[in-house]
Amino acid sequence: MEYRPLGKTDIKVSKICLGTMTFGEQNTEAEAHEQLDYAVAQGINFIDAAEMYPVPINAATQGRTEQYLGTWLKKRSDREQIILASKVAGPGRKEALGHLRDGPRLSRDHVLQACDASLQRLQTDYIDLYQVHWPSRSTNYFGQLGYRYGKDHHPETIAETLGALGELVAAGKVRQIGLSNETPWGLAEYLSLAKELNLPRIVTVQNPYSLLNRSYEVGLAEFAHRSSVGLLAYSPLAFGVLSGKYVHGQRPEGTRLTRWGQYFTRYTSENAQKVTQAYVELAQQHGLDPAQMALAYVNSRPFLTANIIGATSMDQLRSNIASAELVLSDEVLKGIEAIHDVTPNPCP
């Protein structure tokens, strides 16, 4: 397993990061622990969670992912070898997120409360990487590719959020901080304020990146790369679509898009299915597993710090982790670019 620095820090994380948002919904506690044990045995030292997990959002299950991680950590004696990441939720509709502090915000009090609650569930004294899950301001994320101005409805500023994160670092509860679902402007503002106010510097940005969504390359990739802010790529299989299991209208029982497809329609659009079919056929032409090809492409990007994979079965997990050893040929890479040039970013 290859290890890469977390921003400008001396923390080294595995190129493959284990995502955990299925823990507590699609995966039981025993299954979660089995995945974690296997991942660590394969050299993975980087694990990503969030206070609102598992997905989909549900008041009855919220926090269960971190709880499962906590019971796993408690059984081990190597906490210092694990790089543990989690996230504080940004603001959202009260009917969807009202169970989180009566509607989460990125104010000082909310950030501090969220971190303390996560630490308690995780049964640990510190979080290695604490991230803002999505911005407080009105901007483009979660499927919105283009920016459309909208009035901000929350008074907290980036300075307030960053100040709260700085307090957590000073208290020893958090080692490093990062962003998620961010834009070039947002990252620039955090970096500028960190320098101006002598506050901790952002080390990573966790954004979607896959064969079906390379929007990160437009603007943010260069800015982050030149600023030594690493990409943590999430949804590298576009919610499992790039595995090919949904082609020709298939809906395997128990899968996320079968169960909750109404929440993630960008992955099931006609255009997305058409492009996915092209990538699946390209993989098959070269004797490659479609999922491994898609993951290997993400792994090969020079601006990547870690590729966040997720799985609901051990077979999926084994295959996904094995992608770390796959090197795509020039012919395959040319084929990928040809498909992308015709239909770029069908799943923003």
Residues forming the active site: 53
Closest CA to 318 of 298, 289, 278, 284: 289
Q: What are phi and psi of 289, to 5 degrees?
A: -70, 130
| Residue partners of 170: CB distance under 8 A and separation at least 6 | none
- Specify burial of residue 159 (Cβ count, 10 A radius: 0-12, 13-18, 19+): middle
CA dihedral 247, 292, 4, 309 (to 10 degrees): 50
Residues 306, 4: contact at Cβ < 8 Å? yes
Nearest-angstrom CA–CA distance, 205 and 232: 6
Residues 73, 28: contact at Cβ < 8 Å? no
Residues 125, 80: contact at Cβ < 8 Å? no
Nearest-angstrom CA–CA distance, 243 and 315: 13
Closest CA to 161 of 144, 137, 128: 137
Residues 25, 61: contact at Cβ < 8 Å? yes
Which two tokens mark 65? 């992912």
- Specify burial of residue 161 (Cβ count, 10 A radius: 0-12, 13-18, 19+): buried
